[in-house]
Amino acid sequence: LQYAHIHAITESDQNKDGFNDLLFGGNQSRIKPRFGASDASSGWAIPGGKKGYLINQMPLPLGIKGDIRAISPIKTKAGNRTIFGINNQKISILP
């Protein structure tokens, strides 16, 4: 799971199975050239289940590009959504 720095973690039922999943976001693109950018992550989800988080499964990529700094689940009339705050970019919203 550690493809890049992690700056945000939250719980949300991303796959709509009734169990909370762990969502991770990060990256660090603005860094001194001698260290190189750490931007290989597109956000990840570890599914939850009856007995907790299914850490023996591969994490699911979320497809969010950029330096994720905040993740927040919200409730809307259309259903639950997850907002991703991305450094120097527009927010990204997943269904």
Q: Number of folded domains in the chain?
A: 1
Query: pTM score, two decimals?
Result: 0.83
Confirm whether 85 is domain-assigned. yes
Digits of tens for pLDDT over the chain (95 positions)? 566 888 999 999 988 899 999 999 988 888 767 777 777 888 999 999 888 888 777 888 999 999 999 999 999 998 889 999 999 999 999 88
Decide if 11 is inside a domain: yes
Query: Does residue 16 lie within any of the structural domains?
Result: yes
In a domain, 45, yes or no: yes
H/E stretch holding 92 reads: strand 92-94
Please check whether residue 25 lies inside any domain of the structure.
yes
The answer to whether residue 34 sits within a structural domain is yes
Task: Tell me whether residue 81 is in a domain.
Answer: yes
Using the structure block, give the residue that is written with the tokens 């705050």.
85
Q: Which domain holds residue 36?
A: 6-94
Is the residue at 1 inside a domain?
no
Phi and psi at 26, nearest 5°, equal -175, -135
Structure tokens at 10: 């939250």
